Amino acid sequence: MDAIPMPFLTPSPVQKLTVKPELDLYIKRDDLIHPIVSGNKWRKLQGFFQILRPGEPITTFGGAFSNHLPAAAFAAKHFGHPITGVVRGEELNASSNDLLKYCQAQGMALEFVSRSAFRSLRETGWTGYSGRVLPEGGAGSHAMEGCGEIWKELAHEPDHLVLASGTGTTVSGILAAMPPHCKTQVHVVSAVKGALIECAAAQQQALAKHITLHWEDETRFGGFGKWSPSLLEEAENFEQTTGIPLDPNYNAKVWAYLQRTSLQGNVVWIHTGGVRF
């Protein structure tokens, strides 16, 4: 991988926000790491691509609106690995949305399976596929280590750390890097409705280190890959005011959470990236 590096911006910058004057709010711009392999996606994928043999085929998994799929497709093409994306939803095809079109254009072979079959794959650890398996969301020990770098790049321990979650890998990596009894309260805004297993795992990890964690389930906008006109409007207003784009599935929902809560003290929002197709 080192022979053909991509231009990544790390450590990502931290920027003061004044859009909510009563809040001492900062945003860590992981969205600036790379235009496609942005935010937590590159932090998860970097270690994975370092362990691959030259030209080794990859099979990965995701939903039709997964930010992971285009990031993996781009990185696989760049580093010379054939890749198959197993997509949740047998009714879909490569032209169902711009994200899937992009993946196919990058050379990703798309395989569509039913939601029940996808759930079984998740439960059995993504078995039954040849080549190197890259789990949904880029999860794995390599991802944990990469996401832990987010915490290590902070100049101080904030009172509150707020971030979006899909599979829970990013928050797990951050919690692993945090010291026991850390004063920072972690707020996780799930993009997934009813992510009970992910929530329980994060809560258990936080409890073991005596860290306060709040998990916000996605019950306001319809679940993963869904959003309301008002959410899109708020994201557009935010971008016009700050110049910072927000994807509707993850970070726009974090902004909605910050607007309806009253946090005291210093707040750092981890902008986890997310390509808007």
Are 85 and 108 within 8 A, CB to CB? Answer: yes
pLDDT tier at 8, thresholds 50, 70, 90: confident
49-92 tens-digit pLDDT: 999 999 999 999 999 988 899 999 999 999 999 999 999 999 99
Q: How many CB atoms lie within 10 A of CB 71?
A: 27
* Top-level class of domain 42-138: alpha beta
Distances (CA, A) of 57 to 17, 30, 88, 102, 133: 42, 28, 20, 19, 9
Answer whether the bond into residue 35 is a cis peptide, omega within 30°.
no
Task: Output the pLDDT for position 67.
Answer: 84
* Alpha-helical runs (H) found in the chain: 40-50, 68-79, 98-105, 115-123, 141-152, 169-177, 196-208, 229-242, 251-260
Are 15 and 29 within 8 A, CB to CB? Answer: yes
Distances (CA, A) of 190 to 22, 198, 227, 261: 25, 9, 13, 15
93-110 tens-digit pLDDT: 999 999 999 999 999 999
Instruction: Give the residue-averaged pLDDT of 188-216.
Output: 96
Instruction: Taking each helix axis as running N to C, give the angle between helix 141-152 and helix 169-177, from 0 to 180 degrees, rounded to the nearest 10.
Output: 60
Lowest mean pLDDT among 1-5, 36-40, 126-130, 272-276: 1-5
Cα gap 210→93, rounded to integer Å = 45
Residue 6 in this model has a pLDDT that exceeds 80: no
Instruction: Give the residue-averaged pLDDT of 225-240.
Output: 94
Let me know if the fold of 14-37+140-271 is the same as that of 42-138: yes
CATH architecture, domain 14-37+140-271: 3-Layer(aba) Sandwich (3.40)
44-67 in b/e form (b: 16+ CB < 10 A) is bbbbbbeebeeeebbbbbbbbbbb
Domain edges within the chain: 14-37+140-271, 42-138
Task: Output the pLDDT for position 1.
Answer: 41
Q: Hey, is 69 helix, strand or coil?
A: helix
Task: Output the pLDDT for position 167.
Answer: 87
Nearest to 274 by CA among 71, 11, 103: 71
241-269 tens-digit pLDDT: 999 999 999 999 999 999 999 999 999 99
Pairing of strands 109-113, 160-165: unpaired
The share of the chain scoring above pLDDT 70, in percent, equals 96
Task: Output the pLDDT for position 3.
Answer: 41
Strand positions, DSSP E, 6-76: 14-17, 24-29, 58-62
The more confidently predicted of residues 2 and 90 is 90
